[in-house]
Structure 1
Amino acid sequence: MSREYPIIALTGSSGAGTTTIKDAFARMFGNQGLIAAFVHGDSFHRYTRMELDALLSSQPEREETLSHFAVEANLLDRLEALFQEYSQQGTGTYRHYIHAEDKELVEQGHQVGTFTPWESLPESTDLLLYEGLHGGLVTEDINIAQYVDLLIGVAPSINLEWIQKIDRDTKLRGYSQEAVINTIQARMEDYMRLILPQFSRTHINFQRVPVVDTANPFEPQSVPTADESLVVINFRENQKVDFPYLLSMIQDSFMSRPRTLVIPGPKLPLAMELIMQPRVQELLDGRRFK
């Protein structure tokens, strides 16, 4: 797909590790002298935290169905419109959702759980990078995936995903462990219906797999480190991949299936650079107007 304004989307569940991949892309863009527009999926939630709490307090029966994964809890028509506009014109509007870890925005006076005002994307960007829950979403009414030139899934083993979410939300966002576990359970139906199908549309999936015991993810424990993990990287069949080159460059890597590369956890930054840099360059080289 050749577009003047390419879109890369990182899609994954809450706590999956999409931010780690986004940061790797940001470093790569900086090294290549590229200017990217960064958009976070949380910015397209429909409700502030206070509004959502009030809604669920007045309609407690909706607590099982109105999760942040759900279509009705998000402004996905606006996200689809942003992708369409950016792919055609390199423009669009976005905003920020304020998390507790957004120290700079909090220091500016923004309240956690609210949004900044809608604003225009920066001008003259080379590409757009989306990180969030719905980058590959397709429903009867919405098709966000059609505008994405490179769709990447971040899907660690499910127990690890939950451990990472519990660790982040308790340490950085101030939630109790019980509250985080309740959220995981309440979102399960939407996770299966809306999140998992996206990983069948991705061009590349990154799945971190721990090699330590995570049998009970709801037991208090530390997050497995990169040294205690392998990363499974799967490529869709139509992707051109020089596997012999990757195997020669990434020590201790191996092929578990014909299109699946397994690497030691600490080698992920290197693998990201080797795999993604040429793909980003292909997107830029394929632009209709240079």
Structure 2
Amino acid sequence: MSQKHPVIAVTGSSGAGTSTVKTSFEHIFRREKLTAAVIEGDSFHRYDREAMKQAVAESEKNGNRPISHFGPEANEFEKLEALFKEYGEKGTGQKRLYLHNEEEAAPWNQKPGTFTPWSQIPAGSDLLFYEGLHGGAKSDTADAAKYVDLLVGVVPIVNLEWIQKIYRDTSARGYSAEAVTHTILRRMHDYVHYITPQFSRTHINFQRVPTVDTSNPFIAREIPTLDESMVVIRFRHPETTDFPFLLRMIHDSFMSRPNTIVVPGGKMGMAIELILTPLILDIVAKSRA
């Protein structure tokens, strides 16, 4: 961790809703006039789209455990750790983009599913902001989490996570429901060993819990809305949190444990900004001092 060049990371599984939380961070950065060096987690995958298909097929031969985007075999954990470390020390480092679709790929004159060349993060940013699968990643050869100053987890209950993933991948990415289900099953080992352990390293977790029936996520046809949910927010250091202030500001919120506050789903964005703005400003103020 570095007080000179802060590293902030939002981590969550595929379909967890980290993009929604990223929007709240963007509001904070814009309002507080902070310049963030933004890092997308997909850019630290080890393989492009075609190479990943081949690597998965090869790993599944003879009944072996398949690799997945959740685990270390398909990701550059060492490079991610090196980036967090270098940015914390010098305020710079190497980044690239993963081009998901035709729209993203067109300006680069590349195919979708490929990476842009590595480039240097411009000098002068106030902080590094990572959003993706592995902000708190740890393996036998790398520990990215130890260089993160503020680690935020986005963790819907698993059935909701699967509903969101199935809906997104079938409607926006053209996959069949059967193919998405196969991906969920293929990733399960890595999900248990490399995704969920991150949420014991986070400083704050936002967990969305639907108040409607999600008992069979594989037949769900729509995603429960925020207004059909509650959000459970867990703090690693509750002693530094002004819970009376949050309870006054967020209508219908309540505390379920000494380190946990529950808010209506529709107030999730408001809760994120109320909770994280003072933490970010404190981190940045220390770095400038």
Contact 1:203 1:239 in 2 (8 A): no
Question: Deviations 1:23-54 (Å, cap 9, x if unpaired)?
Answer: 11011101111100110111011111101112
How much does 1:122 deviate? Answer: 2.5
Which residue pairs with 1:248 in the alignment?
A: 248
How much does 1:104 deviate? Answer: 4.0
1:34 aligns with 2:69: no
Which residue pairs with 2:125 in the alignment?
A: 125
Which residue pairs with 1:72 in the alignment?
A: 73
Counting only pairs closer than 5 Å after superposition, residues 1-290 of structure 1 correspond to structure 2 as: 3-61=3-61, 64-100=65-101, 103-106=103-106, 108-237=108-237, 240-287=240-287, 289-290=288-289
Structure 2: distance between partners of 1:63 and 1:22: 36
How much does 1:255 deviate? Answer: 0.6
Contact 1:233 1:261 in 2 (8 A): yes
Secondary structure, aligned partner of 1:78: helix
User: What is the aligned-residue RMSD (CA, Å)?
Assistant: 1.6
Superposition misfits of 4+ residues, deviation over 4 angstroms: none
How much does 1:91 deviate? Answer: 0.4
Secondary structure, aligned partner of 2:173: coil
How much does 1:172 deviate? Answer: 1.5
Structure 1: distance between partners of 2:133 and 2:96: 16
Give the counterpart letter for 2:181 in structure 1.
I
Contact 1:2 1:286 in 2 (8 A): no
Structure 2: stretches of 5+ with no match in the other structure: none
How much does 1:138 deviate? Answer: 2.1
How much does 1:283 deviate? Answer: 0.2
Structure 1: stretches of 5+ with no match in the other structure: none
How much does 1:58 deviate? Answer: 4.4
How much does 1:2 deviate? Answer: 5.1
How much does 1:166 deviate? Answer: 0.8
* Number of aligned residues: 288
Give the counterpart letter for 1:73 in structure 2.
A
Contact 2:256 2:262 in 1 (8 A): yes
Structure 2: distance between partners of 1:84 and 1:219: 43
Secondary structure, aligned partner of 2:169: helix
Structure 1: distance between partners of 2:210 and 2:94: 39
Structure 1: distance between partners of 2:142 and 2:59: 26
Secondary structure, aligned partner of 1:91: coil
Contact 1:137 1:143 in 2 (8 A): yes
Percent identical: 53
How much does 1:240 deviate? Answer: 0.7
1:238–1:261: structure 2 CA closer, same or farther, 3 Å change rule?
closer
1:104–1:112: structure 2 CA closer, same or farther, 3 Å change rule?
closer
Give the counterpart letter for 2:209 in structure 1.
V
- TM-score normalised to the size of structure 2? 0.95
Structure 1: distance between partners of 2:24 and 2:138: 27
Give the counterpart letter for 2:210 in structure 1.
P
Structure 2: distance between partners of 1:163 and 1:112: 25
Structure 2: distance between partners of 1:129 and 1:22: 9
Give the counterpart letter for 1:86 in structure 2.
Y
Structure 2: distance between partners of 1:269 and 1:235: 17
Give the counterpart letter for 1:91 in structure 2.
T
Secondary structure, aligned partner of 2:10: strand
Contact 2:11 2:135 in 1 (8 A): yes
